A and B are shown apart, each in its own frame.
Chain A
Amino acid sequence: MLVVENLTVEFPGRHGVFTAVEGVSMTVAPGEIHGLVGESGAGKSTIGAAVIGLLQPPGRIAAGRLRLGQTDLRALSPAQAHRIRGKRISMIFQDPQTSLNPLMTIEDQLIETIVAHEDIGTAAARARAIALLEEIGIENAASRIGAFPHQFSGGMRQRVVIALALCTNPELIIADEPTTALDVAVQSQVLALLRRLADTRGIGFILITHDIGVIAQITDRVTVLRGGRVMEAGPTAQVLGRPGHPYTRALMAAVPRLDRRLERFLLPAVEGDAPVAVPVAGEAGADYAAEWLLSGLRHADAGPALEIDGLAVRFKGTRTSLFHAPPPYVALSDIRLTVQPGTVLGVVGESGSGKSTLARAIVGLVNPAAGEMRFGGAALPYGRVRGRRHPVRRAIQMVFQDPYSSLNSRHRIGDILAEPLMVYGIERDPAERRRIARAMLALVGLAPDAIERYPHQFSGGQRQRIAVARALLARPSFLICDEPTSALDVSIQAQVLNLLKDLQSRFGLTILFISHNLAVVRQMADDVVVLKAGRIVEAGPSEAFFAAPSHPYSVELLRLTPSLALLEGAA
């Protein structure tokens, strides 16, 4: 049905022409889900945009053929292309928060789309919209159709987006990371829906994703992309079961396994790759930093534990009446946990479960309503009354989720790294500060001359290394990692996780590791805590938890997490 031959997409710019996609060929048959998988910059979304004719200027198709059935997509005039969009090719976007108009009801958005493409009346269009919503699993569609997008949950909203894509009976739907913004439980429902639509309606799908687990779960065929080129293509079971290309193997090796714990991730070199900057043991800089860290830790008391008892956090609720105070929103209640010295405690849960609130309460960014926190035996004051010079501010450090916003983009790396040394009064001599900062960069696997550069000159993974280096420069005994790898590609994630594991075993750090990804937590944690709606539903040693979770919610979470193991069993 869709045939792409030798597609090449170029973006002419100031520094010459950038080729985003080069010589890509693929086909999609009716009823087939074709996965495009690759890391950021692989050109996945660019292919989707080229097919639907929505390349961002100045991007252009430089060569190749695009055919949908009998239609040559490249030969269309802009007006003809506009008629085909929506009518024959639809698109599902990543974020259901932004792909629906918040000021229009679902009804209006669906009817608008149907009427724009077909010559039918509003009443008929409305009947069709309701039937569609029923089909994709929205109950009481006739009464809920008048609601606004914000009145639906994230998963329901993504269903509405899918209904919008479906309402003109397209032949081909391009789904660009349709489940990346969703929790695993919702993700598996949405994926099952896509599979069902492909089977029952015979719609062809292009499924763009970075997640090999999603590919393994529902696609028929898969194309592995890297740097705009096809690395490997073929039936999913074959490509993932017996990967022929070293890049596919590297990509799969980097995916955290849910079924067993690895000591380190393997990072097989891919031919033609620049060598990854990994810590070189013999380098004087890294040793100097390690020595410096260890000497600082020796002064400290041997491994403080963090104990939390009865912690509760409440936020102000939404006011609905002028005269009554709104009931508070309970973000966390009755949290009781202990992080033993030198171990890693994994905190898992879906979005909104209160994982990040827990981290923010510990570091003092939010004020708990009740409960007691003890660090190394001493009471840990609440954020509001914790003095600026409280020693815990140095001892507990945090690595944030988004490496793009956690480093001040106007400061040089050297200034960013020198800041903890200066603020905590660890080192007064500026020259010595720079020396330690350079050595620390070497320790986290970056070139020491990075000190002169700015954050935007580094990739996401490198920035996360810098963020880790900044945390280490405070000589912490306790590290909080809030989703430290969820913004990163899998191969970069594997590097950062390796780094954290190395640092943890070398320096005996105690880590609170927060993640929504159970497989990542399995690789990192000694103990696991499962949060749901602000409460702990299960806690225990990691191995026992993953072998036999006891709470039904944990069982469900584990079952729904996409895994490569399914596929290996089949192949």
Chain B
Amino acid sequence: MLARLWQSDGLWLFRRSPAALLAALVAVLMLGGAVLAPWLAPSNPYDLTTFDLFDGLLPPIWQGGDARFVLGTDDQGRDMVSAILYGARLSLLIGFSAMAIATVLGVSIGVAAGYWGGRFDAVVMRIADVQLALPAILTALLIDGIARGLLPREMHDDLRVSVLVLAIALSLWVNFARTARASTFVERRKDYVEAAIIMGQHPLRIMARHILPNILGPLLVIMTVDLAAAILLEATLSFLGIGLPADSPSLGTLIRIGMQFLLSGEWWILWMPTLFLVALVVSINLLGDFLRDVFNPRLR
């Protein structure tokens, strides 16, 4: 089984593409670092007792900083390495959850719209168009506002992450719905689907067992690209202060904090999380481009 996977055309192309290899390496390193942050990071940036104000604003070690803080510290004396790893952990958690929700929501709506067509398709896709016209920030503000209005005050801070995930998912599902719908439209007319319809199989079974496996290719591509988009969106929202509070720093929050030090010479507080974010997003996008080429034989 593994040997067959290794022999498959996709992996063969992968082994021959330096950009994809490099991107995968970077992405895996960053992902691993984020997941294993509690064990890898030198300190815990959430634990206020572990850092010391006297360590504040130390530069990275190649600029004569402290050996304990490879990438320097912020004004609170927090280790930048630990802050970035923990921040990436939060960013990736939000990105993955938002992408997963958007995938499930968008694909089920899109496949159903493509399969049934007609009025259902028209109504659902117009809703998608309206959704597309609303900026993600507006959606996030709206959901945040509703959640604050409905729920008791003491739950607000715990809800921050869920609100972000929901807002991001709501602004991304349209991509999935449109792609799934277009692909389903094509598959729907193929003989194997008609054979299943003649047989009298349940429409849900036809969609899940026959159509879905055949449209996975383009969806996988969108999943990678939208994962990167979700991470960026989270960073944007947190940067603007709609997202997470300063005491639970995601990459976006770290960048917002770093902005304050941009002009006072402590460049690393801004640039370290920014570079990390850029590298993460670029490598995920490169992987998405590569996947697109694999699934589209015409581009080879």
Contact = CB atoms under 8 A, between A and B. Distances in A.
Given A405-B190, A409-B214, A410-B214, A423 B195 contact: no
A424 B198 CA distance: 12
Nearest to B12: A14
Given A408-B210, A410-B213, A410-B214, A365 B202 contact: no
A389 interface: yes
Contacts of B197: 365
A319 interface: no
Nearest to B203: A388
A408 B213 CA distance: 9
Given A365-B197, A408-B210, A408-B214, A400 B191 contact: yes
Contacts of B191: 400-402, 405-406
B195 A400 contact: yes
**Considering the complex of A and B, which 7 residue pairs feature the smallest CB-CB distances, nearest first?**
A406-B191, A410-B213, A388-B200, A400-B191, A393-B200, A405-B190, A408-B192
A82 interface: no
A445 interface: no
29 contacts: A14-B12, A363-B198, A365-B194, A387-B200, A388-B200, A388-B202, A389-B200, A393-B198, A397-B198, A398-B195, A398-B198, A400-B194, A401-B191, A402-B191, A405-B191, A405-B192, A406-B190, A406-B191, A407-B192, A408-B192, A408-B213, A409-B192, A410-B213, A419-B196, A419-B199, A420-B199, A423-B199, A424-B199, A474-B199
B296 interface: no
B198 A406 contact: no
A474 B195 CA distance: 12
A365 B192 contact: no
Contacts of A393: 198-200
A420 B198 CA distance: 11
Interface in B1-22: 9, 12
B201 interface: yes
* Residue among B12, B192, B197, B210 with most chain A CB within 10 A: B192
A13 to B, nearest CB: 11
A427 to B, nearest CB: 15
A87 B12 CA distance: 42
A150 interface: no
A364 B200 CA distance: 10
A390 interface: yes
Nearest to A396: B198
Contacts of B192: 405-409
A395 to B, nearest CB: 12
Interface in B76-130: none
Interface string A373-417: 000000000000001111001000110111001111111000000
A363 B195 CA distance: 10
Nearest to A363: B198
Contacts, number: 50
B243 to A, nearest CB: 39
Interface string B135-172: 00000000000000000000000000000000000000
B7 to A, nearest CB: 10
A408 B12 CA distance: 25
A390 B200 contact: yes
Interface string A142-176: 00000000000000000000000000000000000
Contacts of A363: 198
Contacts of A402: 191
Give the interface SS of chain A, mostly helix, strand, loop or mixed: loop
Interface of B: 9, 12, 190-192, 194-202, 210, 213-214
Contacts of A365: 194, 197-198
Contacts of A411: 213
Contacts of A405: 190-192
Contacts of B194: 365, 400
A364 B214 contact: no
Given A393-B200, A398-B198, 6 more contacts: A365-B197, A387-B200, A393-B198, A398-B195, A409-B214, A411-B213
A248 B43 CA distance: 81
A482 to B, nearest CB: 9
Contacts of B195: 398, 400, 406, 470
A406 B196 CA distance: 10
Contacts of B12: 14
A423 B213 contact: no
A493 to B, nearest CB: 18
Interface in A421-439: 423-424
Contacts of B196: 419
Nearest to A386: B200
Nearest to A480: B198
Contacts of B210: 408
Interface string A1-35: 00000000000001000000000000000000000
Nearest to A392: B200
A400 B196 CA distance: 12
B9 A364 contact: no
A406 B195 CA distance: 7
A394 to B, nearest CB: 8
A408 B205 CA distance: 14
B272 to A, nearest CB: 42
Nearest to B193: A408
A390 B195 CA distance: 15
Nearest to A408: B192
A388 B199 CA distance: 8
Contacts of A408: 192, 210, 213-214
B9 A14 contact: yes
B201 A423 contact: yes
A217 to B, nearest CB: 32
A363 B197 CA distance: 10
Contacts of A390: 200
A472 to B, nearest CB: 14
Nearest to B213: A410
Contacts of A424: 199
B293 to A, nearest CB: 15
B129 to A, nearest CB: 23
A413 to B, nearest CB: 13
B13 to A, nearest CB: 9
Nearest to A362: B198
A405 B202 CA distance: 20
A383 B77 CA distance: 73
A310 B202 CA distance: 31
B299 to A, nearest CB: 14
Contacts of B199: 393, 419-420, 423-424, 474
A407 to B, nearest CB: 6
Contacts of A407: 192
A470 B198 CA distance: 13
Contacts of A470: 195
A387 B190 CA distance: 22
A406 to B, nearest CB: 4
A298 B4 CA distance: 45
Contact of A364 (B198, B202, B213): B198
A234 to B, nearest CB: 40
B16 to A, nearest CB: 10
A48 B204 CA distance: 48
Interface in A345-368: 363-365
* Residue among B12, B190, B199, B210 with most chain A CB within 10 A: B199
